[in-house]
Amino acid sequence: MTDSLDDLAGRLQQFAIARDWQKFHSPKNLAAALAVEAGELLEHFQWLTEAESRGLGPQKRQEVGSELADVLLYLVQLATALGLDPIAEAEKKLALNEERYPVARARGSSARHSEL
Amino acid sequence: MTDSLDDLAGRLQQFAIARDWQKFHSPKNLAAALAVEAGELLEHFQWLTEAESRGLGPQKRQEVGSELADVLLYLVQLATALGLDPIAEAEKKLALNEERYPVARARGSSARHSEL
Amino acid sequence: MTDSLDDLAGRLQQFAIARDWQKFHSPKNLAAALAVEAGELLEHFQWLTEAESRGLGPQKRQEVGSELADVLLYLVQLATALGLDPIAEAEKKLALNEERYPVARARGSSARHSEL
Amino acid sequence: MTDSLDDLAGRLQQFAIARDWQKFHSPKNLAAALAVEAGELLEHFQWLTEAESRGLGPQKRQEVGSELADVLLYLVQLATALGLDPIAEAEKKLALNEERYPVARARGSSARHSEL
């Protein structure tokens, strides 16, 4: 893990240690918490049309930012707990996707995309 | 957004543009995709005990890393689509949590924690 | 719980007992499994437009039916584990929603709806 | 769909028609709403141990019942929107699982179970 996420990971670890919350932070529990926050993020969009979701007002955008933060905070803590580097994992996955979905065949096709 | 996540965001944007997939990538759809991937991440842990989840073998750990990557890739794309900086949002949220859960009162209490 | 769901609950309990799977079926684990299946259900819709989701072809419809079944099977098992009657709970909630969202004020308003 | 769930489905349809909410209730949106509610259900368990989740107090049990109801209400509405019978789908899936996981081989094995 590098730079800004590194920083965040360190601060989150101190946050949990100071509150004696590490006992709650098993990877199983962190994965559940991440899924819960992903649901709260989705809640903001559930009744919007796609077009509306592309044009959020400033307050809604801020609320979404706050939920997105919660997801990221649990993602970083889960990665730390498992000794994983999220950036390295993401780069590996992106490289794999570039191979799996060659531009020529994937262009504009939602069918291929939906396998992603 | 800074450094490594910046990089990733740029590559993901090029990936989607090259495949003409931006039309699928409304914030609403990206939030749904993120929740789907969060479910796939959780799937690896659903029948494990907490203790087992703290001691994953190398193959399982790699599979989890791959799902965690999927979550992060959608999170970064959603942030880009909304003009949000995930690191800045996460830091703001962490600062807020430090205020909300003062060490003295939060120490070891799952009750407080569960409001998080 | 009454009639058809009752039946299902009984068969699921026998299914788990016969395989000695009850040890895995803590309410915590069943709630996680339900969320995982809800993600698999959502996956079928993530890149579809709303209009497309209203006109699924027969194969896709069948796949969705199978995921919907998984959600219901875990929901029934979770209810049994906690001694809850899902139909009674649903009726209570529906009566509450009828009070909370009087027709006169709720008519056509997504804003009210989104609190649901 | 039979008996008690039938009833519920009819009342939910009237509820939505009376409020002119059917326009929001595309299968895509209902699947998202179901996933959001599954997250809220899971939230009650995220920091509990499995043992604690087996011994909920009366208030927590009631809160869980209310979230479970929300999941069921969206499940029934999604099934109605797609012309699916949830009980028939669940029975088909259970029969399939009985075939897939013969008692002799599945007994007590979380490995097999986790494919479920």
Tell me the per-residue pLDDT of D39-73, one tens digit each, with 9 for 90 and over. Answer: 999 999 999 999 999 999 999 999 999 999 999 99
CA distance B114 to D45: 9
pLDDT of residue D1: 46
From C55, B23, B79, C75, select the one nearest A69 (Cα to Cα): B79
* Two tokens, residue A90: 């993401």
pLDDT of residue A3: 77
pLDDT of residue B111: 56
- CA angle, corner A36, sides to A31 and A38, nearest 5? 95
Tell me the per-residue pLDDT of A74-91, one tens digit each, with 9 for 90 and over. Answer: 999 999 999 999 999 999
Region for A3 from its dihedrals, namely left if φ exceeds 0, alpha if ψ lies in -120 to 50, beta otherwise: left
Q: How many residues does chain B have?
A: 116
| Candidate from D35, D47, D110 with C-beta closest to B114 | D47
Report whether D28 contacts C50 (CB < 8 A): yes
Q: What is the DSSP string of A65-85?
A: HHHHHHHHHHHHHHHHHHT--
pLDDT of residue C106: 78
**CB distance C43–B24 less than 8 Å?**
no
Residue D106, pLDDT > 90, answer no
| Candidate from A3, A12, A90 with C-beta closest to B73 | A90
CA distance B14 to B76: 13
Q: Average pLDDT in the C90-100 region?
A: 96
From the number of C-beta atoms within 10 Å of its C-beta (0-12, 13-18, 19+), residue D29 rates as: buried
pLDDT of residue D111: 56
pLDDT of residue D107: 79
pLDDT of residue B31: 98
CA distance C62 to C55: 13
**CB distance B21–A84 less than 8 Å?**
no
CA distance C109 to D20: 8
**CB distance A36–D29 less than 8 Å?**
no
**CB distance D32–A38 less than 8 Å?**
no
Residue C116, pLDDT > 60, answer no
pLDDT of residue D16: 96
**CB distance D36–A33 less than 8 Å?**
no
Neighboring chain A residues of C46 at a CB cutoff of 8 Å: 114
C residues 1-40 closer than 8 Å to A (CB): 32, 35, 39
Least confident of A15-19, A67-71, B102-106, D29-33: B102-106
**Minimal Cα–Cα distance from C14 to chain B, Å?**
19
pLDDT of residue D42: 98
pLDDT of residue B110: 62
Neighboring chain B residues of D32 at a CB cutoff of 8 Å: 32, 35
Neighboring chain D residues of B39 at a CB cutoff of 8 Å: 35
* Two tokens, residue C95: 């009566």
Mean confidence (pLDDT) of chain A:
92
Indicate the residue type of C11.
R
Neighboring chain C residues of A50 at a CB cutoff of 8 Å: 49-50
pTM: 0.94
**Minimal Cα–Cα distance from A64 to chain D, Å?**
14
**Minimal Cα–Cα distance from B67 to chain A, Å?**
9
Neighboring chain D residues of B53 at a CB cutoff of 8 Å: none
Report whether A34 contacts A75 (CB < 8 A): yes
Neighboring chain A residues of C48 at a CB cutoff of 8 Å: 110
CA distance A31 to B68: 9
C72 has a chain D CB within 8 A of its CB: yes
Model ipTM?
A: 0.93
CA distance A60 to A63: 5
pLDDT of residue D2: 54
**CB distance A75–B72 less than 8 Å?**
yes
Residue A109, pLDDT > 80, answer no
Neighboring chain C residues of A35 at a CB cutoff of 8 Å: 32, 35, 39
The low-confidence residues of chain B, meaning pLDDT below 70, are 1-2, 110-116
Tell me the per-residue pLDDT of C5-60, one tens digit each, with 9 for 90 and over. Answer: 999 999 999 999 999 999 999 999 999 999 999 999 999 999 999 999 999 999 99
CA distance B61 to B87: 25
Residue with tokens 């240690």: A17
Q: Which comes out higher in pLDDT, residue B104 or D33?
A: D33
Residue D104, pLDDT > 90, answer no
